[in-house]
Amino acid sequence: MSNFNKIGNCSLLILVSMLFLSSINVTSVKAINNDEDLVINPYLVAEMEAFRVQNNADSFSLSVVKGNESIWSVANGQIGSVNATPETAYRIGSITKTITAITILRLAEQGFLDINADINDYLDFEYINPDFPSTPTTLKMLLSHSAGIADRDLIFGIFRHTDESFLFYPDYISEFFTSGGIYYSTSNWNGRAPGESGDYCNIAFVLAGYIVEQVTNKSMQTVIDELISHPLNISSIVHNYTDLSNRTVAPPGSNSLSLTSPYNLSEVGTGALWASTSDLSILLSILMNGGVFNGVRILQEDSVNLLLSTVSGGYGLGWNTGLWQGKNGGIPGYTGHLYTREVAGVRWGYVILSNSETGLDFFIQSKVRSSILEGNLIVPSDYVPPIITTTTGSTTLNTSSEGTNHPLLSSFFSLIFLSYIMKKRYTVKR
Taking alpha carbons only, the member of 64, 141, 125 closest to residue 315 is 141
Beta-bridged to residue 91, according to DSSP, are 274
Q: What's the whole-model pTM score? A: 0.85
Question: Residue 189: is its pLDDT beyond 60?
Answer: yes
Question: Residue 214: is its pLDDT beyond 60?
Answer: yes
**Is the Cβ–Cβ distance between 99 and 272 less than 8 Å?**
no
Question: Residue 413: is its pLDDT beyond 60?
Answer: no
Angle ∠(387,62,327) on CA atoms, nearest 5: 105
% of residues, the chain, pLDDT over 90: 65
| Whole-angstrom distance, CA of residue 196 vs CA of residue 361 | 33
> Which one of 10-24, 139-153, 183-197, 273-287 scores highest in mean pLDDT?
273-287
Class of residue 126 by CB neighbours under 10 A (exposed 0-12, middle 13-18, buried 19+): exposed
Question: Residue 76: is its pLDDT beyond 70?
Answer: yes
Number of neighbours of residue 222 by Cβ within 10 angstroms: 12
Question: Residue 3: is its pLDDT beyond 50?
Answer: no
Q: Which residue has the higher pLDDT, 426 or 210?
A: 210
pLDDT at residue number 423: 40
Of the listed ranges 66-70, 256-260, 374-378, 406-410, the one predicted with least confidence: 406-410
pLDDT at residue number 163: 53
CB burial of 256-286 (b: ≥16 within 10 Å; e: otherwise) equals: eeebeebbebebbbbbbbbbbbbbbbbbbbb
pLDDT at residue number 159: 52
pLDDT at residue number 157: 55
pLDDT at residue number 397: 31
Q: How far is CA 55 from the centre of its chain?
A: 20
Q: Where are the domains of the chain?
A: 3-57+375-426, 91-357
Angle ∠(329,82,417) on CA atoms, nearest 5: 75
| Whole-angstrom distance, CA of residue 219 vs CA of residue 393 | 56
Of the listed ranges 80-84, 222-226, 365-369, the one predicted with least confidence: 80-84
Question: Residue 295: is its pLDDT beyond 50?
Answer: yes
Tens digit of pLDDT for each residue in 102-137? Answer: 999 999 999 999 999 999 999 999 999 999 999 999
Mean pLDDT of 48-75: 93
Mean pLDDT of 41-67: 92
**Reported confidence tier of residue 399, pLDDT bands at 50, 70, 90:** very low
Question: Residue 422: is its pLDDT beyond 70?
Answer: no
Distances (CA, A) of 234 to 91, 277, 319, 339: 16, 11, 22, 20
pLDDT at residue number 41: 86
pLDDT at residue number 286: 98
Question: Residue 377: is its pLDDT beyond 50?
Answer: yes
pLDDT at residue number 45: 86
Taking alpha carbons only, the member of 322, 316, 267, 308 closest to residue 140 is 316
pLDDT at residue number 386: 65
Question: Residue 94: is its pLDDT beyond 60?
Answer: yes
| Whole-angstrom distance, CA of residue 334 vs CA of residue 385 | 32
Question: Residue 358: is its pLDDT beyond 60?
Answer: yes
| Whole-angstrom distance, CA of residue 126 vs CA of residue 140 | 18
| Whole-angstrom distance, CA of residue 91 vs CA of residue 251 | 9
| Whole-angstrom distance, CA of residue 399 vs CA of residue 384 | 6
**Reported confidence tier of residue 198, pLDDT bands at 50, 70, 90:** confident
Question: Residue 58: is its pLDDT beyond 80?
Answer: yes
DSSP string, 218-268: S-HHHHHIIIIIHHHT----BS-GGG-TTS-BPPP-S-TT---S------T
Q: Which residue has the higher pLDDT, 152 or 390?
A: 152
CATH topology for 91-357? Answer: Beta-lactamase (3.40.710)
Mean pLDDT score of the chain: 83
pLDDT at residue number 36: 58
Radius of gyration of the chain (CA): 23
Of the listed ranges 37-41, 81-85, 91-95, the one predicted with least confidence: 37-41
Of the listed ranges 56-60, 254-258, 302-306, the one predicted with least confidence: 254-258
pLDDT at residue number 27: 46
pLDDT at residue number 172: 85
Question: Residue 417: is its pLDDT beyond 90?
Answer: no
Tens digit of pLDDT for each residue in 259-278? Answer: 899 998 877 899 999 999 99
Question: Residue 239: is its pLDDT beyond 90?
Answer: yes
Beta-bridged to residue 61, according to DSSP, are 75, 353
**Is the Cβ–Cβ distance between 271 and 93 less than 8 Å?**
yes
